[in-house]
Structure 1
Amino acid sequence: MDIPSKTPQVKRSRRWVLALVITTGIVTATAAVYTVSRYRLLPSTPAPTPAPTVPIVRTVTALGRLEPEGEAVHPATTGSLEGTRILKILVKEGEKVKAGQIIAILDTRARRLAALKETQEQVKVAQTRLAQVKAGAKVGEINAQKATILRMEAELRGNVKAQEATVERLVAELQNAETEDRRYQQLYQDNAVSASTRDSKHLAVETAQKQLEEGKATLNRLRESMQAQLNEAKANLNRIAEVRPTDVGAARAEVDKALAAVERTKADLEVAYVRSPRDGRILKIHIRPGEVVDDRGEGILKLGQTDKMYAVAEVYETDIRKVRLGQRATITSDAFVGKLQGTVNQIGWEIGKKDVLSTDPAAATDVRVVEVKIRLDPASSQQVAALNNLQVTVEIEP
């Protein structure tokens, strides 16, 4: 009777066990399927094996441009060029020029050339004056002064002789008066003549003495006066014939002043000639004859040394630490065949914005870069000598 009563309970226990086994199997199967699927998608690498080290790539790639050594330059003239026009252009684009070669002439040349000729004539005048001062007075002037001296000497001798004759006559008259005075004094003592007659003869002696004294004084004054005039004439002759150092110095100073004016006008004339500052090739002529020169704009023309070309790479500021002087670089472009080779020659000291033109409208033009100059090898320079300002791709090797 007990067996029938346990049968339903046993059946229920079995059902629970069976349900548990089935559930456990389903869960186990699902986990197995998920695990297999997951490991099929993952690479089959052993778990204990460490991940390989990825090598650091140090090659620096940047956009750049080609340009001649020293960049394209603008031959400039000294001083302001306001209102100045081009008279002649003596070169053509692509032509090679030498340092110091005249490449253009300004319209100020004629005016400054005339000023130079004027100052050169002033030098000739000053030099002639200096020669005259060194040579002294003209021969004619010296001879005229000598003739004056001779004339004065003759006058002196004539006047002195005439006055001496007068003095001699007065001496004779005095002697005669004295003789008469003595004779009449004796006659008076002999009571042969009156006292008045004797006194008149004595008065004649005194008068003759005074006249003689005046005659001698006149002779002395004449000699002194004529001698003074003669001495002055001789001194004037010496002054005319003498070359004084002060006169020579003044004349030489005038020559130096005129020569300085010549040098100044030569410098002014030189401004009218535009010369090449170095050897190179004419890349671009900006101004034609007759046009006004703008000394603050593009200048007259562009000049470059195309036999020594450079690639100017714009390296990102984050990559500049990888660049060193002397590193080799490779330059490529669709504009030429093959690759150019060069060496890092200069690393810029300033960080600026990207400058190389790009056809990509989405390019980051405000990226901050440093300019690195790569000097091309001679063969590479020759290959791209005519491709100034060409955009290129630069790879700087580690």
Structure 2
Amino acid sequence: MEYTADSKSKSGKPLVKKIPVLIAGLALIVGGITVYRFTQIDTSESEISPQTMPEVTTVTALGRLEPSGEIITISVSSGAQGNRIEELLVKEGDKIEQGQVIAVLDSRDRLQAELEQAKEQVGVAQANLDLVKAGAKTGEIQAQQATIARLEAERSNDIMAQTATVSRIKAELNNARVEYQRYQQLYQDGAISASERDSRYLALATAKEQLAEAKANLNRIESSQEKQIAEARATLDRIAEVRPVDVAVAQAEVRQAQAAVKVAQAELARALIKSPQAGTIIRILARPGEIVSGDEGIARIGQTDEMYAVAEVYESDLKKVAVGQPVTVTSSAIDEKLTGTVEKIGLEIERQNVVNTDPTTNIDARVVEVEIRLDEESSQKVAGLTNLQVKIRIEVGSRK
């Protein structure tokens, strides 16, 4: 028994001493393998040639369909607000002409009656004038009256035209004054040169001279033509065989009655709502029986014979887009693809208005509106789809 115990003790001690040596050797082997693998990975990565990124040939964007030009809201004039719509003569999709009546207000019948009454008053006033002139030389008096009427009409037209010229030049003068003040401030701030400021001052001075000249011409027209009319009236007084004062009073009554007719005609015209331009009724905003106001309007019209797609292109893609590039437009609402050409690129960066339903989409994206003119066939297909959301694909690698 003692021999056996001594044998185990002698053989166990060397084994315990060898364990740290074995562990150290194993660690060296594992470390060597790890270094070898990393070396191989670096070598393989260095051997991979860089891949060439494919050239971008298209830019995609969301957008909407719009008719050519602006969408116009047809409203009533301020004097006709508060009336009700009696008749609505159009429906959505109807094509209308410029000046076409699209709605009638309930004030029409009353205003029509007032117009007829005003016309009757003209007849009464004219009959009274004829009675006053009964004993005069009818032919000469009528000829002279025609001369006076012609001179008055010419004077009125000339004064109106020159007054409009004065008003226009006044507006130009105001603009020139504002521009000069702005350039003066810029000059004081050191933002522009003196020559640039002086050019605005010259424009201001020129506008002042033009206004003075226009006012002088207006005074000349008023004085010279007034003198001619006075001379013509004096001639009428000489040839009349009745008291001129009686004729003048009767003529004034006729003119007053005629003016009342014009007022009644203008009031009646307000009850007939007309389209300011040709186009297509895109939307009806009011119905018969409703009270109309200038803010809401009655209908919206647009020129849908020629449709556009307005793409909201990300500002990062803007440099790739150019006028003349071909475009493909699609939507889930239409079966066929639409085609067109980039016609105009916007100049303003703004927030995106047409947003994808994807919840991960960046709704605060900065975009530029790009107008795409659809070809004739495509325009016809979507003439009735104003504001339809579409997907737009611009072929930036080519131009038509």
Secondary structure of the corresponding residue to residue 395 of structure 1:
strand
Task: Mark the runs of 5 or more structure 1 residues left unpaired by the alignment.
Answer: 1-18, 139-238
Query: Aligned to 2:317, which of 296, 316, 319?
Result: 319
Residue range with higher mean Cα deviation, 110-119 or 366-375: 366-375
Partner of 1:391: 389
Residues of 1 paired with 2:247 and 2:326: CA distance?
Answer: 71
Give the conservation status (yes or no) of the 8 Å contact 2:75–2:295: no
Partner of 1:356: 354
Residues of 1 paired with 2:267 and 2:348: CA distance?
Answer: 39
Secondary structure of the corresponding residue to residue 393 of structure 1:
strand
Tell me the alpha carbon deviations over residues 179-235 of structure 1, each in whole angstroms, 9 at most, x when there is no partner: xxxxxxxxxxxxxxxxxxxxxxxxxxxxxxxxxxxxxxxxxxxxxxxxxxxxxxxxx
TM-score (norm 1): 0.59
Tell me the alpha carbon deviations over residues 235-260 of structure 1, each in whole angstroms, 9 at most, x when there is no partner: xxxx9x81455544443343233222
- Kindly state the Cα deviation for residue 324 of structure 1 after the two structures are TM-superposed: 3.7
Secondary structure of the corresponding residue to residue 292 of structure 1:
coil
Partner of 1:164: none
Tell me the alpha carbon deviations over residues 277-307 of structure 1, each in whole angstroms, 9 at most, x when there is no partner: 222222222222111113212x212222222
Secondary structure of the corresponding residue to residue 356 of structure 1:
coil
Flag the 1:27–1:76 CA change in 2: closer, same or farther, 3 A.
Answer: closer
Tell me the alpha carbon deviations over residues 81-123 of structure 1, each in whole angstroms, 9 at most, x when there is no partner: 4421110111222222222211111111122212211221122
Q: How does 1:1-398 map to 2 (within 5 A)?
A: 30=33, 33-34=36-37, 37-38=40-41, 42=44, 45=47, 51=50, 54=53, 57=56, 59-136=58-135, 242-243=241-242, 247-297=246-296, 299-398=297-396
- Kindly state the Cα deviation for residue 52 of structure 1 after the two structures are TM-superposed: 6.0
- Kindly state the Cα deviation for residue 37 of structure 1 after the two structures are TM-superposed: 4.1
TM-score (norm 2): 0.59
Larger radius of gyration: 1
Give the conservation status (yes or no) of the 8 Å contact 2:309–2:372: yes
Secondary structure of the corresponding residue to residue 346 of structure 2:
strand
Residues of 2 paired with 1:245 and 1:384: CA distance?
Answer: 70
Identity, in percent, stands at 51
Residues of 1 paired with 2:51 and 2:356: CA distance?
Answer: 38
Partner of 1:11: none
Give the conservation status (yes or no) of the 8 Å contact 1:327–1:397: yes
- Kindly state the Cα deviation for residue 137 of structure 1 after the two structures are TM-superposed: 7.0
Residue range with higher mean Cα deviation, 53-62 or 82-91: 53-62
Residues of 2 paired with 1:351 and 1:28: CA distance?
Answer: 58
Flag the 1:35–1:367 CA change in 2: closer, same or farther, 3 A.
Answer: closer
Name the aligned partner's letter for residue 105 of structure 1.
V
Residues of 1 paired with 2:345 and 2:302: CA distance?
Answer: 21
Name the aligned partner's letter for residue 60 of structure 1.
V
